[in-house]
Amino acid sequence: MAVNNESWGSRVGLILAMAGNAVGLGNFLRFPVQAVQNGGGAFILPYLICFLLMGIPLLFIEWGVGRYGGQYGYHTTPLTFQKMNRMKFWKYIGVFGIFSNVAIAAYYCYIESWTMSYVYHSIIGTFRGLDQHQVASFFTNYLDIGTSTTGIPFEAVIFFVFCLVLNTWILSRGLSKGIETVAKIGMPLLIIFGIFLAIKGITLKAGSDGAIYDGTVGLNFLWTPHFDSLSNPKVWLAAAGQIFFTLSLGQGSVQCYASYVKKKDDIALNSMSAGWMNEFVEVVLGASIIIPISIGYLGIDRVVELTSQGGLGLGFRTMPYLFQQWGPALGAISGVAFFGLLFFAGITSSLAMGTPVLSFLRDEFNWGRRSAAWAFGLTVLVLGLPTVLFFQSGVFDEYDYWAGTVSLVLFAMLEAILFAWVFGLKKGWKEITAGADIKVAGIMKYILKYITPVMLILVFAGSLIRPAGDDWSTLFSKNYELHNESIIGQVIHKGRGPNTSYFADRFYAENDGVIDSIYSREGRNYIAIAAVDSKGETQISEVRYGDRNVPLVQKGHMVKVGDPLYEGSVINKIFFVDMSRLLLTLVFILISFMVYKAYKKRVKEGRF
């Protein structure tokens, strides 16, 4: 019978692993984009306030919950929650602490594989001599798995599988020999790469290496405070959301790592050290790379426009081109540094996602470490392949929305309520301060009990009923309309357009415009539609159609939403969206069933 007797090797190793868990791609790609989209300096103040009032308290809670469970041999949240309160439903709330990790790992490992691939392409000089459009197209082609960018067939799939095998192998080596070793190598390298790029970004000079503006123009945009933003709910929600992602809260991985800490050992200082290390990487390094470099070359307006595609677009479509402006050698070094730091940020996080799954299988079903690691790898492969194969059909976005966003907020909200109100703050406070190497300020009790749960409830409620255009002044008026990306809006498929059936004979236009052209490029067929945006600028959107489809429009035709664009056999995006949701639901049910069996097994064996 395999026994889970894992231990951390050293305290510094634990902190680096925990910081590595928190430091992820979001520190470098999501944070700058959130800051840009929320008015630059307008974002920083709410962000820092959310860190102090929500981030730090939640870190205390998650470390406390983890170590509490570890005393009883539970290294995952389902049975730890059940132990904290006898109401049976808590173990099913705890299921989120395993589910989120599996589902996030499924698409996160895919992004991680892009970073590996881009390191490789930076080294072999793939981006040398390409213009901005060609570099952006490279990313689009890479995602289209049928197209090979380097002669390697199914390159995206191969890198994904390789990345997954690497994660699995490291996980199979255990906490101290696997995860801790990677954190001890990866975190210092990440910081060195980050410092190198931040210096390049800050010292960027207009007129030098093709830059239009100084790097300080971007920093000025980011750091000029806008105190009026404090009254804008949109900015607060964005700031609170970023705190979740950046600290890997509401996921179950912090609890799992902390569960291997003994009761008499400190968690208060450890959590502060790991948390502030993450903030250093985000606020000092993350803020000083993408924004100054991209604004230096492209200007504020263009960068704001580019961020509408998200941080991934900016990072993978634009940055390789900008690095090339520094010459072949420095461009290659910068590409390796940037995508290398993203890779280390990614792998230290994805390993943290695997650990709860391994721990659960080992604790409850006596699996060996290697078997559990390969079971995790296989599960992520099966769950992740749809995100690779149907990336363009929205599967990736669905995973990210439901597992990587909604689940985290919901889980953290319920966890904060459980800890402060159900388990009780008296016991909770003892848990946080037992063995502490620092004195935790008494005011934290009130923050834990009142402010953090209320903030989390507001964040969840805000996500649930987010108004269209983020115009919160309409909330109690007749003009109120749900945002397409609000939780309710997503559930009812708001804003999905006219293509609402899974399968159809015709595909209908989803935007008004004029047919600009109908053409084939690299074996793919497109209908390009030109439309004028709110700024009066013409935007071209492309609709791809298959070889067996026949266009029903011609160049110059005016089209309105709902007009047929082409005919033939069509599988609409909504099919992939609903199948993704179904798959995620089935995974949640399966884990819930395993938790039920584990609980019954423990009761039967007298171990609960």
Residue 148 token pair: 């090979």
Q: x/- contact string, 172-191, with other proteins (CB under 8 A)? A: ----x---------------
Site for other proteins in 12-41 (CB under 8 A): 12-15, 41
CB of 208 to other proteins, least distance (A): 18
Q: Does 242 bind other proteins (CB under 8 A)?
A: no
Buried b (16+ CB within 10 A) or exposed e, 291-328: bbbbbbbbebeebbebbeeebbbbbbbbbbbbbbbbee
Q: Does 284 bind other proteins (CB under 8 A)?
A: yes
Q: Does 72 bind other proteins (CB under 8 A)?
A: no
Q: Does 44 bind other proteins (CB under 8 A)?
A: yes
Number of residues that bind other proteins (CB under 8 A): 41
Find the binder of other proteins among 116, 238, 272, 440 (CB under 8 A): 272
Residue 319 token pair: 């940055």
Alpha helix positions (H), 85-209: 89-94, 96-124, 132-143, 155-172, 180-202
Of residues 502, 516, 495, the one with CA closest to residue 559: 516
Give the span between the Cα atoms of 556 and 530, in whole angstroms.
10
Task: Decide: 249 and 243 in contact? Cβ < 8 Å.
Answer: yes
Site for other proteins in 213-232 (CB under 8 A): 216, 219-220, 222-225
CB of 101 to other proteins, least distance (A): 22
| Count of alpha carbons within 13 angstroms of residue 562, beta-carbon side | 1
Give the span between the Cα atoms of 92 and 366, in whole angstroms.
21
CB of 442 to other proteins, least distance (A): 19
Q: Does 71 bind other proteins (CB under 8 A)?
A: no
Residue nearer to other proteins on the CB measure, 258 or 361: 258
CB of 339 to other proteins, least distance (A): 24
CB of 45 to other proteins, least distance (A): 9
Residue 496 token pair: 């999905």
Tokens 């109690």 found at: 476
Residue nearer to other proteins on the CB measure, 44 or 164: 44
CB of 280 to other proteins, least distance (A): 4
Find the binder of other proteins among 279, 415, 510, 516 (CB under 8 A): 279
| Count of alpha carbons within 13 angstroms of residue 123, beta-carbon side | 10
Give the span between the Cα atoms of 120 and 394, in whole angstroms.
27
Give the span between the Cα atoms of 483 and 492, in whole angstroms.
11
SS3 letters for 570-583? EECHHHHHHHHHHH
CB of 219 to other proteins, least distance (A): 6
Residue nearer to other proteins on the CB measure, 41 or 568: 41
Task: Decide: 540 and 529 in contact? Cβ < 8 Å.
Answer: yes
Residue nearer to other proteins on the CB measure, 166 or 217: 217
Give the span between the Cα atoms of 112 and 224, in whole angstroms.
33
- In sequence order, the 6+-apart residues with CB closer than 8 A to the CB of 563 are 508, 509, 553
Residue nearer to other proteins on the CB measure, 12 or 491: 12
First-residue to last-residue Cα distance in the chain: 19
Q: x/- contact string, 402-441, with other proteins (CB under 8 A)? A: ---------------------------------x-xx---
Give the span between the Cα atoms of 95 and 62, in whole angstroms.
15
In three-state secondary structure terms, 481 is coil
CB of 172 to other proteins, least distance (A): 18
CB of 177 to other proteins, least distance (A): 10
Identify the H or E element spanning 569. Answer: strand 564-571
CB of 493 to other proteins, least distance (A): 41
Find the binder of other proteins among 2, 53, 195, 269 (CB under 8 A): 269
User: What is the binding site for other proteins (CB under 8 A)?
Assistant: 5, 7-15, 41, 44, 48, 176, 216, 219-220, 222-225, 260-262, 264-266, 269-270, 272-273, 276-277, 279-280, 283-284, 287, 435, 437-438
